[in-house]
Amino acid sequence: MLIIRMIFKEIWHRKVNFLLAVLAATTAVAFLVAFFTASKASERETARLMLSMGYNLHVIAKDADVGVFLMTGLADKTMPEAYVGKLAAQNSISYNHLLATLERKMKWRGVEVILTGLAPEVCPPGQQKQAMTFRVEPGTAYVGHHIAEVLAVQKGDTVDVNGKALRVERCLAEAGGLDDMRIQCSLRDAQEILGLPGRITQIKAVDCLCFEKGDPVTTLRKEIGSILPETQVLQVKSLANARAKQRQMIRNVFAVMLPFVIMACGVWIGVLAIMNVRDRRPEIGLLRALGYDTVQVMLLFLGKALLVGLFGAAAGFLLGTELGLRFGPRVFEITAQAMLRPESSLFVLACILAPLFAMAASLVPTVIAVTYDPATTLREE
Ligand X SMILES: Nc1ncnc2c1ncn2[C@@H]1O[C@H](COP(=O)(O)OP(=O)(O)OP(=O)(O)O)[C@@H](O)[C@H]1O
| Sites of contact with another protein (CB under 8 A) | 1-2, 6, 9-10, 12-14, 282-283, 285-293, 374-375, 378-379, 381
What is the DSSP annotation of 168-198?
A: EEEEPPP-SSGGGGEEEEEHHHHHHHHT-TT
- For 172, list phi and psi in degrees, rounded to 5: -75, 155
288 binds, among another protein, ligand X, none (CB under 5 to 8 A by kind): another protein
Least distance from ligand X to the Cβ atom of residue 376, Å: 5
- Residue number, 20 or 378, with CB nearest to another protein: 378
**Pairing mode, if any, of strands 140-143 and 182-186?**
antiparallel
- Residue number, 52 or 376, with CB nearest to ligand X: 376
Q: Which residues contact 100 (CB under 8 A, 6 or more apart)?
A: 81, 83, 84, 118, 119, 187, 200, 202, 203
Least distance from ligand X to the Cβ atom of residue 281, Å: 14
Q: Does 381 bind ligand X (CB under 6 A)?
A: no
Q: Does 344 bind ligand X (CB under 6 A)?
A: no
Least distance from ligand X to the Cβ atom of residue 289, Å: 16
Amino acid at site 325: L
Q: Which residues contact 179 (CB under 8 A, 6 or more apart)?
A: 144, 145, 172
Q: By three-state DSSP, how is residue 112 classified? A: strand
- Residue number, 248 or 296, with CB nearest to another protein: 296
Least distance from another protein to the Cβ atom of residue 283, Å: 5
9 binds, among ligand X, another protein, none (CB under 5 to 8 A by kind): another protein
207 binds, among ligand X, another protein, none (CB under 5 to 8 A by kind): none
Which residue's beta carbon is nearest to the bound ligand X? 376
Least distance from ligand X to the Cβ atom of residue 373, Å: 8
- Options 286, 376, 378, 381; binder of ligand X; rule CB under 6 A: 376
Cα 3 to Cα 46: distance, rounded to the nearest angstrom: 51
- Residue number, 120 or 374, with CB nearest to another protein: 374
Sheet of 111-118: strand order equals 158-161, 164-171, 140-143, 182-186, 111-118, 95-108, 202-207, 57-61, 231-235
- Residue number, 137 or 373, with CB nearest to ligand X: 373
Cα 375 to Cα 129: distance, rounded to the nearest angstrom: 68
6 binds, among ligand X, another protein, none (CB under 5 to 8 A by kind): another protein
- Residue number, 267 or 375, with CB nearest to another protein: 375
The secondary structure of residue 136, as a DSSP letter, is: P
Q: Does 154 bind ligand X (CB under 6 A)?
A: no
Cα 277 to Cα 18: distance, rounded to the nearest angstrom: 13
**Is 60:75 a contact under the CB 8 Å cutoff?**
yes
- Residue number, 17 or 101, with CB nearest to another protein: 17
Query: How many residues sit in the footprint of ligand X (CB under 6 A)?
Result: 2
Residue-level length of the chain:
381
Nearest to 132 by CA among 249, 199, 70, 50: 50
- Residue number, 196 or 286, with CB nearest to another protein: 286
152 binds, among ligand X, another protein, none (CB under 5 to 8 A by kind): none
- For 104, list phi and psi in degrees, rounded to 5: -145, 140
287 binds, among another protein, ligand X, none (CB under 5 to 8 A by kind): another protein
Cα 185 to Cα 170: distance, rounded to the nearest angstrom: 11
Least distance from ligand X to the Cβ atom of residue 286, Å: 17
Least distance from another protein to the Cβ atom of residue 334, Å: 55
Q: Does 371 bind ligand X (CB under 6 A)?
A: no
- Residue number, 80 or 282, with CB nearest to another protein: 282
Contacts to ligand X by CB under 6 A: 376, 379
